[in-house]
Structure 1
Amino acid sequence: MDNDERVIGIKDVAKAANVALATVDRVIHNRAGVSLKTKEKVLKVIKQMGYKPNIMASNLSKSKKIVIGVLLPNISEGSGYWEFPMQGILKAKKELAQYNIKIKTYTFKQDNSKEIRKKILELINSDIQGLVLTSKFADEIEILLDDCKQKNRPYVFIDSNVRKIDSLCSIHQPLFESGELAAQLFNYCFDRGEILILHLKKTMDTEGIIGLKEKGMNAYLNEKNNAITTKSLVLTDFNEDAISDILFKTLEDNPLIKGVFIPNSKVAYIAKYFEKRAGDKIYLIGYDFFREDVEYMEKEIIDFLICQRPEEQGYQAVFKLFEHLVLKKEVEKEIIMPLDIITKKNYKYY
């Protein structure tokens, strides 16, 4: 379909006017709660884009409840990352409230296979019409995906889809390229030495996610700078004393290490050690941005964070199911998130 023939939706209007979806809906239905200036701006965009209300979606919103299931790890001290996709999911739920979209959340402990299987059985026996989940735990969710296919329940992956499992849509970061980006950042900091790749892992995470990042890092260095090499170390005990002992010995035995790469969101565990460590500067790069990272960025202990917009992933996942289930639109099979670089100079605006 040519761009000129594409059906303009309420989401397109909201994006063009730089306002929330709910604001556009209020303007269309002449409801209160919108300033005159904003209303005029939205009406102008509607006229320019030639938007026409979707009668089918309007009728569905009045008569049918859409239930979307969400299967994600618990929000906890060890997996705080999942708080952000949930924020995006709840934001989308709020904006789509007028369409009678309901969210049912099923959370589990990442290191508990029995619990995830229990949640999967609950989902199988539920009344959901669509599903948001991560493919990190592909071995456990295989029976759930088979059930979804049999019942024609579409599902959307967020965070990663390393195994390339078929889905309505997959929303994730480019893993290999993020490893290349981390290597490029280290290369800006020093031109020879070693990078220690620290795998902080005690959950059911698939090796492929971290492995692709490591491959990306090594590919970049092999092409651009053979004077920088890497070595890997797996940590399964996140106790502060255990981390301190292992890092002290590793850095003592490998004096050429000038950078440490944490290929997941647990960089604060390592930053805590470096805060107390004496000696030459060692550059530290990790993933995602949490409140506990602020102090370490201010002190320039964490030098860079690579962020994959997890909140937007959750938000987009719900909207893709909405577009498919309610608007009957064809949605993208894959959405690749931009890789944002966060530093001491810009984290306040992120």
Structure 2
Amino acid sequence: MNIGIVCYPTFGGSGVVATELAKVLAAKGHKIHVLSYAKPARLETLDSNIFYHEVAINAYPLFEYPPYALALATQMVNLIEYEQLDLLHVHYALPHATSAYLAKQIMADKGINVPVVTTLHGTDITLVGSDPSYKHVVEFSINKSDGVTAVSEYLKQETFDRFDISSDIKVIPNFIDLDRFQKSNKSHFKKAICPEDEKVIVHVSNFRKVKRVPEVVSIFNRVLKQGIKAKLLLVGDGPDRQKAEQQCRDLGICEHVRFLGKLEQVEEVLSIADLFLIPSGSETFGLAALEAMSCSVPVISSDIGGLPEVNIQGETGFLCALDDIDCMAKHAVEILSNEKLHATMSKNARAQAERFNQDVVVNEYEQYYKEVSEQLQEKTAVSKA
């Protein structure tokens, strides 16, 4: 198939999933056209079947805020017409699904009807989409999509609860490259960071308030107070980094904490991790947790959103109530001080990650593309009859 994939270029989950999906589909022989306002963070490899198209936004004195949604719709029209797309797959509802609807209407006047699949990822429903300024547009755009997917059962239900949705929503979870994300021998790396054979606790995020990075530091401080020799590695960057750094100074634990910034090869850090912390206030899936689990790392997380669908209580790690740092610290100490428990949870974590094998999940997308395309063809035939 000739497929257009629209996403944000940032390190967030929706951009990562869209880019990884593009790469796997291209490897399977599909021609993929990636649209975004900048090159996606994980689109780092060259592939003869992947074509990147940057959405140019011209600035005019008339516009205080350049109309990205219109520029995107125009680029979609160009690709549908000149690259002869078979399907357009947009990740994140706003404004991608809205722009896709506009492009679809423009092409309909030319006798071309390309199916549009919209994948919902999280804050496009729970935060941005629920804003009264955008709610009706998001609702309309979802209902006008030819196919809709959500990355978790939780997100599917949230969408139905928050919007008047007339179409079905298919759950296709996020996925993992099991070959890339697997525990590898990085003993030299661990020795450099942990000269006294300390345990390694890792957190990966964009350091936004919802990720609760200061709570990660508080949990780690409690672990240290229980006599566990450990290091905390914080991967990522964002608004709460300075707050977390100051917290480390106030607690006097800076020598045990390292801020690594944004890293492309996060699996190298996960390979030396003994425990992964994700106390988020909102996670519709928990891709960072899945990546850790694929590297055989037990996870301690909050019990909100889609996290219970990924991190299985008592098997791959532990779930605690939101903001219950005492619970998280207690279980962290339990895992790090019990070698047998740690070994069992590490094995279970990898086994759970294998359920989200990218080959299996991408096959689901391919089958869904086929179903949506056939359904649209049938509708078109009926309307012409």
Q: What TM bracket, shorter-length normalisation?
A: 0.3 to 0.5
Compare relative contact order (CA 8 Å, sep 6+) and give the higher one, 1 or 2.
1
TM-score scaled by structure 1?
Answer: 0.37
